[in-house]
Amino acid sequence: MVTSAHEGMHRIFQERPEILTPVFDVLGVALPEKAAVYAITTDATETRPMARHIDTALRICPSDGEDFLLAVEAQERRDDRKEQSWAYYVAYLQSKYKLPVLLLVVCRDRATAKWAAGPFDCGTRGWTVQRTCPLVVGPDNLPMITDVRSAAKNPAMAAFSALTHANNPECDAILDALDQALGGMDSDASDYIYQFLDVTLGDTPAGDKWRSIMGFVNYFPGRGHLMERAYFEGEAAGEAKGVLRVLEVRGLVVSDDVRERVTTCTDLDRLNDWLDRAGTVDRAEELFTEETDGQE
């Protein structure tokens, strides 16, 4: 709410900018008597907001103290724009949730890690209004975890090890160890790390290596692992599309019931059988004739 005091302060500084000089003197901040001052909008509301996306934002609830928020950013290279956006993230989260905020930056090389540590100051004339001091992990302070036992003991740390050492030629050893460790874990926990690295490693040699592991290695086939389910669901969808395509090319009418039965089937053997029969049946419904005859 705009009060008369607020309006008066706004107008006096806008119309009599020279008053700023003694005010700054009281604060110990030097400002020349002759300075151009321009009024800009005081409305911080963004009618057409700029897209700002924090990589990860978590609320941490420790047993030995107050809750806090943790913003996590993965940084591949120096980007001077981050000096402003990181400060914005911290201020925004603190304002919205009324909780203290920590910022963690994960870097893949030493030069980026050194830059990301900051501090990044907002201020002028020798006075700092806001300072952003990120926590930084990178190749210098995160070890390479290349043995399976250590990776199994702390898979999250192993995942961060792979992320920070993604540009290291020896990263393959980290990924192999982590993959073997995840193979013995509960699928709910391991699937998250599989996908986390798939996204965060991106289009790097380490990312290509990890996706090859996800696509071809499965230590517990048949257990319903997420990657296994995704693979078979994709295969089933392709087979179902092939069955329907053969029927349509042959000019056969495909009813909604037939289409639904084919597209919802996840049994690859059955779909392969339907694909073979799609080239010989006279009616689409005849795909399922033998299954009906075999039922008791």
| pLDDT over 70, % of the chain | 73
Least Cα distance to 17 among 42, 37, 39 occurs for: 37
Distance of alpha carbon 270 from alpha carbon 85, whole angstroms = 53
Distance of alpha carbon 178 from alpha carbon 163, whole angstroms = 12
Report the pLDDT value the prediction gives residue 29, as an integer from 0 to 100.
Answer: 65
pLDDT in tens, 197-213: 877 787 788 888 888 88
pLDDT-wise least confident of 87-91, 203-207, 272-276 = 203-207
The model's pTM is 0.57
Least Cα distance to 250 among 270, 269, 267, 275 occurs for: 275
For residues 193, 140, 107 and 191, what is the CA-based torsion angle, rounded to 10 degrees? 0
Q: How confident is the model at residue 15 (pLDDT cuts 50, 70, 90)?
A: low
Report the pLDDT value the prediction gives residue 36, as an integer from 0 to 100.
Answer: 55
193 CB-near residues (< 8 Å, 6+ apart):
155, 156, 159, 178, 182
* Rounded average pLDDT over 272-285: 89
Check if the beta carbon of residue 237 is closer than 8 Å to that of residue 199.
Answer: no
Residue with tokens 């639904």: 260
* Rounded average pLDDT over 232-260: 85
* Rounded average pLDDT over 227-243: 71
Q: At what angle do helices 171-183 and 155-164 cross, to 10 degrees?
A: 160
Q: How confident is the model at residue 134 (pLDDT cuts 50, 70, 90)?
A: very high
The better pLDDT of the pair 190, 292 is held by: 190
CA angle 115/118/120 to nearest 5° reads: 125
pLDDT-wise least confident of 58-67, 226-235, 245-254 = 226-235
User: Has residue 2 got a pLDDT over 50?
Assistant: no
Q: How confident is the model at residue 186 (pLDDT cuts 50, 70, 90)?
A: confident
Report the pLDDT value the prediction gives residue 49, as an integer from 0 to 100.
Answer: 55
The better pLDDT of the pair 58, 33 is held by: 58
Distance of alpha carbon 151 from alpha carbon 176, whole angstroms = 10
Beta bridge partners of 105: 73, 136
HEC assignment per residue over the chain: CCCHHHHHHHHHHHHCHHHHHHHHHHHCCCCCCCCCCCCCCCCCCCCCCCCCCCCEEEEECCCCCCCEEEEEEEECCCCCCHHHHHHHHHHHHHHHHCCCEEEEEEECCHHHHHHHCCCEEEEECCEEEEEECCEEECCCCCCCCCCHHHHHHCHHHHHHHHHHCCCCCCHHHHHHHHHHHHHCCCHHHHHHHHHHHHHHCCCCHHHHHHHHHHHHCCCCCCCCCHHHHHHHHHHHHHHHHHHHHHHHHCCCCCCHHHHHHHHCCCCHHHHHHHHHHCCCCCCHHHHHHHHHHCCC
The dihedral region occupied by 2, where left means phi > 0, alpha psi between -120 and 50, and beta the remainder, is beta
The better pLDDT of the pair 223, 20 is held by: 20
pLDDT in tens, 17-53: 555 556 566 667 665 666 555 554 444 455 555 556 7
User: Has residue 132 got a pLDDT over 90?
Assistant: yes
User: Has residue 225 got a pLDDT over 70?
Assistant: no
Distance of alpha carbon 240 from alpha carbon 275, whole angstroms = 8
User: Has residue 290 got a pLDDT over 80?
Assistant: no
